[in-house]
Amino acid sequence: MTPDVASLLKYLSVPDFRYRDAHARPARRAHERPARAGLNIFALVSLVRGVGRTTLAANLTTTLGRRGLRAAAVDLDPRADLRAHFRERLDALTRSPMEVRPRLATAFHHGVKGDLSGGVDPAGGSIQAVQQGAGGAEIEWPERNVGFVPLVLDHASTVEAAWDCDAVVLDTAAGASDAVEQALAEADEVIIVARPNRENVNAVHATEALLARYRMRSWRRTRARYLINRFDGRRPADRVALAELRHLLGPRLVPTAIQDDTAVPEALVEGRCIEDFAPGSQVVSDLQAVARELAP
């Protein structure tokens, strides 16, 4: 086909004809990781602020880790609030004896997951270590199977720091951004966190548009699921909003809703996870159910 004919067809916008310009610059694409068996990356995303993504990321990671998976929470939010949820356990890391910490860091760097001689911190009874990841990102291990990756400028390196985990939970900022685009490209599954209210019901259309714009660039085609956070069945508005979301989303709505509980912000004030702060709360039971749903 001559260049003139190709230009004419392009000008006429012939249906079902695929145009290919050998001189055109390729579109910018988000970094996509190679697949690794056994690794599941979950991106927590929302266009609405204040839905509890960061708190959910920290508590869900802890729940996954305590179920036997090697799990890490990755901070992709410029506010860098995720660390506060691990504060008590990370503070214990700084109190670890100097002769213990280097040995632990070396062991974790080589993927040792079993018991480590001398690897129990007398201050907190947990194994803690810091592992250097790709691109200068570090993964900190406040517990044997619960890791935390602080925010670095290179989002791809932040995610790659947790490459040897079984489950990675990405905490993103509200709205569309480069970090959210990266998370959508990296994730095996996208979880849209929503509160049961009118604002979140109205945001479904815009959220679906965001997913269509970024998610389809990735080779992973799993449809995003929605998770209701801070639900209180005593509030009529919550019940109405949940019914509307069920009607809009159908099976894409995770069956378990995370209950609203004042113990959650109280645990944050102390820098603790909800499972340690209020082990008998309904929220802990809900998190365990969601963890089974995401990683059976």
Percent of the chain clearing pLDDT 90 (strictly above):
48
Banded model confidence at residue 141, pLDDT cuts 50, 70, 90: confident
Mean pLDDT for 255-268 is 96
At 1, list the tokens.
Answer: 């086909």
Banded model confidence at residue 95, pLDDT cuts 50, 70, 90: low
Residue 186, pLDDT score: 79
Banded model confidence at residue 163, pLDDT cuts 50, 70, 90: confident
- In angstroms, rounded to a whole number, what is the distance separating the alpha carbons of residues 92 and 7? 66
- In angstroms, rounded to a whole number, what is the distance separating the alpha carbons of residues 85 and 230? 17
Residue 7, pLDDT score: 58
Beta-sheet pairing, 71-75 with 146-149: parallel
At 131, list the tokens.
Answer: 């592992």
Q: With contact defined as beta carbons under 8 Å apart, do 175 and 192 qualify?
A: no
User: What length is written for the chain?
Assistant: 296
Give the CA radius of gyration of the chain.
22
Q: Which amino acid belongs to residue 35?
A: A
Residue 221, pLDDT score: 52
Q: With contact defined as beta carbons under 8 Å apart, do 94 and 146 qualify?
A: no
pTM of the model: 0.76
Percent of the chain clearing pLDDT 70 (strictly above):
66
Q: Which residue has the higher pLDDT, 282 or 2?
A: 282
Q: Nearest 10 degrees: CA dihedral of 42, 286, 241, 266?
A: -90
Q: List, in sequence order, the alpha helices (H) in the chain.
A: 3-12, 53-66, 87-94, 101-109, 155-160, 178-186, 198-202, 204-214, 236-249, 263-269, 274-277, 282-294
CA dist list (Å): 21 to 6, 18, 73, 208: 9, 10, 42, 30
CA dist list (Å): 191 to 20, 141, 254: 35, 24, 9
Mean pLDDT for 246-252 is 95
Mean pLDDT of the chain: 78
Banded model confidence at residue 232, pLDDT cuts 50, 70, 90: very high
Q: With contact defined as beta carbons under 8 Å apart, do 191 and 170 qualify?
A: no
Q: Which residue has the higher pLDDT, 67 or 116?
A: 67
Q: With contact defined as beta carbons under 8 Å apart, do 179 and 172 qualify?
A: yes
